[in-house]
Amino acid sequence: MVAGARRRAVRDGDRQIDTAHLLHSLLEHDPEVRAAVGDPQRLARLLGYLVQRSIGYGLRWQGSVEDSGAIVVPAPARSLARDTRDAPAWSPAAAAAMSGARERARHRGELRPAGTDLLAALAADPGARAVEVLERAGISALDLGARIDAGTEEYAGDGSASC
């Protein structure tokens, strides 16, 4: 999943992997994340916004740093970003979301976060680009986070998203 976000950042010409890259990769690779989003029409609209990022929507983000005011944390652990040669850096908001996902997994007694852990962490940062995209697609980030929290056991799965 992280590799997909990295590829998107490189392809889009972005200097950093941001929360929208993470959201897009999660939706592509994790059926539990898609289920957590729910409504197929909203999911399609959400994917549409993310696909359009490189051809219009989101161009204002290029060349800028995503800084939602999230606490800056160290880069993700080596296991999360195996090959860092020529890789974009992490935006502060994306790094905080990855840290938040790991913390959610630890609270459940898991070693690795599930995709829904990362989705909940992304939705929890109101200044993140991922939240902007969710809201534009008609998906309340606050409601999404609450749904994930309410159904943690249902969405946690086996951690196969490998965040």
Residue 134 covered by a domain: yes
Question: Cα–Cα distance between 67 and 27 in angstroms, integer?
Answer: 22
Residue 67 covered by a domain: no
Residue 51's domain comprises 2-58+86-156
Domain count, the chain: 1
Residue 69 covered by a domain: no
Summarised one tens digit per residue, pLDDT across range 73-122 is 444 444 444 444 556 789 999 999 999 999 999 999 999 999 999 999 99
Question: Cα–Cα distance between 38 and 80 in angstroms, integer?
Answer: 27
- All residues at 6 or more sequence positions from 120 whose CB lies less than 8 Å from its CB, including other chains: 100, 101, 104, 144, 145, 148, 149
Residue 73 covered by a domain: no
Res 73: pLDDT: 45
Residue 75 covered by a domain: no
Residue 102 covered by a domain: yes
Phi first, then psi, for residue 49 (nearest 5°) are -60, -40
Res 9: pLDDT: 80
Segment among 2-6, 62-66, 149-153 with least mean pLDDT: 62-66
- Asked if the model's pLDDT at residue 12 lies above 60, the reply is yes
Residue 97 covered by a domain: yes
Find the largest Cα–Cα distance for the chain.
42
User: In this structure, are residues 78 and 117 in contact, taking their beta carbons and an 8 Å threshold?
Assistant: no
CATH code (residue 14): 1.10.1780.10
Res 160: pLDDT: 42
Local structure of 17: helix, strand or coil: strand
Res 62: pLDDT: 52
Summarised one tens digit per residue, pLDDT across range 28-68 is 999 999 999 988 999 999 998 888 865 544 545 555 555 55
| 2 token code pair | 């992280």
Res 8: pLDDT: 80
User: In this structure, are residues 89 and 15 in contact, taking their beta carbons and an 8 Å threshold?
Assistant: yes
Res 67: pLDDT: 52
